[in-house]
Structures are given as C-alpha cells and as structure tokens.
Structure 1
Amino acid sequence: MTGKERREQLLTIGRTLFAERGLDGTSVEEIASAAGVSKPVVYEHFGGKEGLYAVVVDREFEGLLRLVTEALTSARHYRGKLEKAALGLLEYIEENPDGFRILVRDSHGGTGTGSYASLLSEIAGEVEYILAQEFDRHGYDDKFASLYAQSLVGMVAVTGQWWLDVRKPRREDVAAHIVNLAWNGLSGLEQRPSLDPRRRRKEMERAQKRAEKIAAKEERAAARAQGKVRRDESGEQPV
C-alpha cells in the first residue's frame, strides 16, 4: 500500500470511528488496530488523532459547503434555489451519514477546525448575498437580508438533524415541505407540496378552487346572517 493509499485508509477508518464515538471517545490504538498498522504510522501521517480528526472535519465541511453553494447558484428562480439547497443538504445527509454526524458534533477546541455552526454561518452568508440582491430588486429593505438568511438556513439545518435519525418521509418530500413553509408561510401552505413544477401548478389550481369555495360559502353565510338581522329588526317571520 502506498503512502497516499494508507493515508486515505486511515481517513476512512477515522471517519467511521469519529462518527460513532467522537474525538474524545476514539483512541489512536483503535484507529491503528482497525487499519492493521502500528500507532507510529498514524502519528507519521497525521501527528495523532487530533490531526486526523481535523482533516476529516475539513473535508466534510468543504464538501457540504460546496454542494449547497452550487445548489444556490445553479437555479435561476429564487424558489428553485431554495429547493435545490434543501434537497442538496438532505442528499448529503442520506449519502454521508457518518460525515454529517461528525459535523454536527462540537468541534474539539484544540483542532481549530470548522464546526456545524460555522458551516451554517458560511452558508447563511451565501444566502444573505442572494437575498440582498433579490430584496434590492423588489424594493425591500436589504438590511434584513441577514435575518432572513439565518432563519431559512436554521430551518433547513435543524430539520436535517432531525431527519438524520428518522429518515421519513423520503428526502424529496422533506425538501418539498420545507420549501412549502419557507415560500408560502403558515397561512398559505399547500396541502400536497412537491418539487415537481407540474404537480405544484395543479396544487395551486386546487388551492385556488378551495379558496373560491370557502369564499363563496362565507358570502352565503354572511348573506343569511344579514337577512336574519333584517327580519329581526322588522319583526317579520322567516318563510
């Protein structure tokens, strides 16, 4: 095995052990034993478990940040950016559960590496930049872009941590419901949100029909109530 191959092997083993036990719960002996090497080999490549942990965290940090940043910049429409970013994070969680578990742990004080909180701060900065442009274009006060960015990123991030363990519903449905809440708000939630534009248009049409029926029903109720008031005032008996 070449030096490069050995290094990658140690990173893979360390990633698994750190995800299960964290930095403090993992020893150099365990890493070396799992790799079938002596402890000095681990020290030779990384200087110890802290150095190995730092590289693992940095890789996950950069990988997830790149994935979400690309998602935010690849879509033209704002809703599309949100959909792709939410789906990208959930895809990362589903395909890299060990890496995500490492990120959400508190980083060790001595490593100087990024933590999940600092990762989210980086992503929020990207979102803030996009929001500020959108706010300015639509005449909104862009000084609130940071607040909205933190709110959106926080909503997706906390949901992602929850979904890491439950894994239900499927990631496309989770992303659709996140975007439903972020885009429509509680007062305008779609009953069956979807990332498919065609299905979403049909849902909007159904929602419009429901709203029209409710409005018509309320108008009829108001008319009946008004008629009752008039009869009461005139003393007439209802027919």
Structure 2
Amino acid sequence: MSTTAKAPTRRKRMPRAERERQMIEVAEAVFAERGYTAASMDEIAERVGVSKPMLYEYFHSKEGLLLACIRQSRAALREVTEEAVAQAASAEDAMRRGLRAFFVFIREHREAWSLLRHEMALIGTSAADEIEATRQQQTDLISNLLGALVGESDPIRAEASAEFVVGACERLAIWCERHEDITPEIVTEYAMDLLWGGLAQRATKIDTARPEHHSPR
C-alpha cells in the first residue's frame, strides 16, 4: 500500500510594506536601547527574523534604516496632530488638542521620541537634518494654526511664536520622562496655562485693530 508524500508547506511571504514596518519598529527599539552608534544591523536582523542582507536590501545602510525610522515617526506625528486639530471648535480648543496629541504621541512612542531627542549623537549625519525637518514640520503646523484660527497676519510673528511653542513642548516632554505620574492631559494644561494667555492676548489685539464694518443703511 503506497502513500503519497505531502509537499512541504511554504511559509507565506509577508508583504513588503508590512515587512518594512516590522523592520522599522524593531530598529527603533534597538536604536533606543543601544544608541545609534552601538546598535548593530546583526541584532536588528536577528530580532526581526530576517537575514542581514535583506535588511540592507530594504534600507541600504544603518543610517538609511535610521532615516526611515525618523521619517515614519514624523509622518505619524503629523497625522495625529492634524486629526486632533481638525476636530477643534475654537482656536483655544485647537491649541489644546494639538498639544495633547503631541504629548500622547511622545508617551506612546517612546522609542521614536528617544531617536529625536538624542540628536546630538547624530550631528554630521543625514539623520540630524531629518530630525530638524520633524521640528520644522511642527513649527509650520503651529504657524498655520495661528494664522487660520488666531488671526495672526504677520508671518514672522507667527513663525516666532510657533518656534517658541515647539521648543517649550520639547523641553516639557523631556521633563515628563522624569515624572511618570504626569499624564499627557496634565502636561497639556501646564503648557496651555503658559502659552495660551499670550496667544489669546495677541488674538484680542488683532481683533481690536481690525476696522469695523458697518452694515449699509
């Protein structure tokens, strides 16, 4: 009585985009744990479960993998910030929602935040430029918000205010690392207490300076 041997089961190939996301997620963790210089492509490949040549096929170099991590984080941060602000009912609500989105992102993406905040170790690499591009993205978003919702018509003043907000929030995020009990909601209110007062006064001045429009009789 003969038996037919079963063909070996082939492992289902993971779609390229999904595999790339997996590699980036693991790389973020390794970079955060070891630091960029000490992190090795061997360890990243082993954790992902792929060969090192495959890792190089996707990203070409360790720096290329780091750039991919930063770019993905930047895109994710932009998405959550824009979605939060889009649902706002007022300028103050928009600022509060935007700030909270940032602090929630930092809390939920610790590995990505670690890459961004340790930029001094990356000076001289393309990653430093990518980190600055992330900062510039947030500055542009806030500057546009000030123009659209607060009514700031002076682009230089709006840009200066946005730079101030971004810098302040970065320092608050670092401070939050030392205070695990401070939730995104709490630190958002701290930031609003300090930032919104000046912005609200500026909005009031702008409204006061606008000429009154009388309805024709």
Determine the structure 2 residue equivalent to 1:169.
182
Which residue, out of 128, 132, 150, partners 1:117?
132
Structure 2 contact 103–188 (Cα < 8 Å) conserved:
yes
CA distance in structure 2 between the partners assigned to 1:35 and 1:135 by the alignment: 47
* Alignment partner of 1:2 is 2:17: no
* Cα distance change on mapping 1:7 and 1:147 into 2, 3 Å: closer
Determine the structure 2 residue equivalent to 1:126.
141
Shift of 1:114: 5.0
* Cα distance change on mapping 1:148 and 1:31 into 2, 3 Å: same
Shift of 1:116: 3.7
Q: Which runs of 5+ in 2 are unaligned?
A: 1-11, 199-217
Which residue, out of 192, 198, 205, partners 1:179?
192
Q: Which runs of 5+ in 1 are unaligned?
A: 186-239
Letter in 1 for 2:137: E
* Alignment partner of 1:26 is 2:39: yes
CA distance in structure 1 between the partners assigned to 2:44 and 2:117 by the alignment: 21
Structure 1 contact 54–111 (Cα < 8 Å) conserved:
yes
Matches within 5 A, 1:3-82: 3=14, 4=16, 5-82=18-95
CA distance in structure 2 between the partners assigned to 1:77 and 1:114 by the alignment: 34
CA distance in structure 1 between the partners assigned to 2:197 and 2:142 by the alignment: 18
Shift of 1:108: 6.1
Shift of 1:56: 1.3
Letter in 1 for 2:179: V
Shift of 1:144: 1.7
Number of aligned pairs?
183
Which deviates more from structure 2 when the two are superposed, residues 51-60 or residues 28-37? 28-37
CA deviation vs aligned residue, 1:26-79 (integer Å, no higher than 9, x gap): 111221232344322222222232222221111001111222233233313111
Letter in 2 for 1:54: L
Relative to the length of structure 2, the TM-score reads 0.72
CA distance in structure 2 between the partners assigned to 1:45 and 1:141 by the alignment: 44
* Cα distance change on mapping 1:70 and 1:12 into 2, 3 Å: same
CA distance in structure 2 between the partners assigned to 1:129 and 1:36 by the alignment: 43
Identity %: 24
* Cα distance change on mapping 1:109 and 1:66 into 2, 3 Å: farther
Q: CA RMSD in A?
A: 2.5
Shift of 1:7: 3.3
Higher RCO, Cα 8 Å, sep 6+: 2
Determine the structure 2 residue equivalent to 1:201.
none
Structure 1 contact 90–160 (Cα < 8 Å) conserved:
yes
* Cα distance change on mapping 1:143 and 1:6 into 2, 3 Å: closer
* Cα distance change on mapping 1:86 and 1:38 into 2, 3 Å: same
3-state SS, counterpart of residue 166 of structure 1: coil
Shift of 1:129: 2.1
